[in-house]
Chain A
Amino acid sequence: MDWQAIALSFELAALTTAVLLLVGLPIGYYIATSARRPLRVLVEAVVALPLVLPPTVLGFYVLLALGPRSPIGAFYESVTGRLLPFSFQGLLVASVLYSLPFSVQPFASAFSAVDSRLLDASFCLGESRFRTFLRITLPLSWQGVVTGMVLSFAHTLGEFGVVLMVGGNVPGVTRTVSISIYDAMQSLDYGLAGRTSAFLLVLSFLVLAATYALQGGAFSPWSKKS
């Protein structure tokens, strides 16, 4: 089994999830609470784009945007002295964009389900928006946050088309497990492809089953459902 590719995929998925937690929480909060309708609708639409667009569209733009001929690629090169395409960082950028709706949408719907009277009470007691978010909104929507994180992780793990287009298949850097399985199949090594696929299938099933069990409240640290 291609352990290097498996480890790389997990690293990419974990980092993508971490970045999406940082980026996704504020965007989700904005979508859930913003009263300025036209702008909010636009943000929602942009966030949802990767759900609709084929990976080829994203791959096409990402490859051109990261390349040394684009302003973004040139800026990155001048700051770090390295190129973005075919690097782990470049893949991370692509993955974050690709999985954005999978974190933001569950976050936003969990936030908007929080009883607004609790928030008003907190504001009346003089708590800031940020503290209210941390102490009330976040604990009450932890299930949505976990869902968003698991979905981002799983979606990144299963990412294929974008990686194929922008990764360059460098072992240990951009050869993720999905690419490794594809390579094994193309080299007619069905044994290797089968073993890695089976491993991924079982693992994905276990992760998802554990998540749904968690969501069912079985191990919930906050809610005490019976």
Chain B
Amino acid sequence: MKGRGVRGLFLVLLGLALLGCKSSTAGEQAQRAVETVRVASASDLKFALDELSAEFRKAHPAIELEITYGSSGNFYAQLSQRAPFDVFFSADLSYPERLVQAGLGVPDTQFKYGVGRIVIWVPKGSPVDPQRLGIAALNEPAVRKIAIANPEHAPYGKAAVSAMQKLGVYDDVKDKLVLGENISQTAQFVESGSADAGIIAMSLALAPAMKEKGRYWEVPLDTYPRLVQGGVVMSWAKHPKAARELRAFVLSGAGKRILKKFGFYEAEGPD
């Protein structure tokens, strides 16, 4: 009885293993036809990059994008250990800069693609009106938990803390802070109602998944260090030409239009 069960399980596993072989060879064949560019991207770009990559695919059908989202600091640490990504989009220009200095990023591919903005976001049903109250919304008693990104390593978290300090509310609200691992988790904390308010990237507040679900107030740009977003192509990129195509597309008119739509200011200056 028991023996038969084990044999049956073995057969099932064998079957699954065979299926696995088949699909992986099919995958290899597909890969030969197109070039895959592996992208590590700051999570504030999530929705903008979804749209960008759809447009990019139309223009370059032979290039496949494989995008991983996470926190910029985390990617920087991984890329310093030669993580298998070809292009890095960071929420903080300093990370690509440091990668280039370390000889890991290709110097002439370093680029700025936008300036990030932060907003105070509350869910739709919230009794607090950030558009009327501005930063004082955080001081409201109805706001018991405020989600921000971890200021130790997430650029948006640093910006949030700096803005609260500059606007004089930090000491009053610091005990209400909960920290998201990156800016999308921060948005998720407040979108789910677990936190009453959040300081998140405008690009997420404008994203289809969040737009209808809450209200926001833009934190004045001069209260926090400029969130210059930048990227770089890694020196070990498998298809450097395809990676450069992606970089060029992001900086092109079409790319800029999409980034603007998702709340990124245009980055001025060369690069």
> A: which residues have CB within 8 A of B?
63-64, 66-69, 83, 85-86, 164-165, 168-170, 174, 183, 185-188
Complexed CA–CA distance, A83 and B196 (Å): 11
In the complex, the answer to whether B153 meets A85 with C-beta atoms within 8 Å is no
CA distance A67 to B178 in the complex (A): 14
Would you call A67 and B192 a contact (CB within 8 A)? yes
| A188 to B81 CA separation, bound complex (whole angstroms) | 12
Size of B's binding interface in residues, CB under 8 A: 22
Q: Is B74 an interface residue (CB 8 A)?
A: yes
Determine chain A's interface SS by DSSP, over half rule. Answer: loop
Query: Residues of A contacting B185 with CB < 8 Å?
Result: 165
Q: Would you call B71 an interface residue if the criterion is a C-beta within 8 Å of the partner chain's C-beta atoms?
A: yes
Residues of B within 8 A of A164 (CB): 181
16 contacts between A and B (CB under 8 A): A63-B194, A64-B192, A67-B193, A69-B192, A83-B145, A85-B189, A86-B194, A165-B185, A168-B147, A168-B180, A170-B177, A174-B178, A185-B77, A186-B77, A187-B73, A188-B153
Contact in complex: B77, A86 (CB < 8 Å):
no
Residue of chain A at shortest CB distance from B193: A69
Q: Give chain A residues whose Cβ lies under 8 Å from the Cβ of B73.
A: 186-188
In the bound complex, do residue A168 and residue B189 qualify as a contact, i.e. CB atoms below 8 Å apart?
A: yes
Q: Are B192 and A63 in contact (CB under 8 A)?
A: yes
From B144, B152, B179, A168 is in contact (CB under 8 Å) with: B179
Chain A nearest CB from B82 CB (Å) reads 16
CB-based contact B181/A169 at 8 Å: yes
Bound complex: CA A61 to CA B179 (Å): 19
Q: Is the CB of B152 within 8 A of A183?
A: yes
For A185, the chain B residues whose CB sits under 8 A away are 77
Residues of B within 8 A of A174 (CB): 178
> B177: which A residues are within 8 A, CB to CB?
170
Closest CB in chain B relative to A57 CB, distance in Å:
15
> Chain A: which residue is nearest B80 at the CB level?
A188
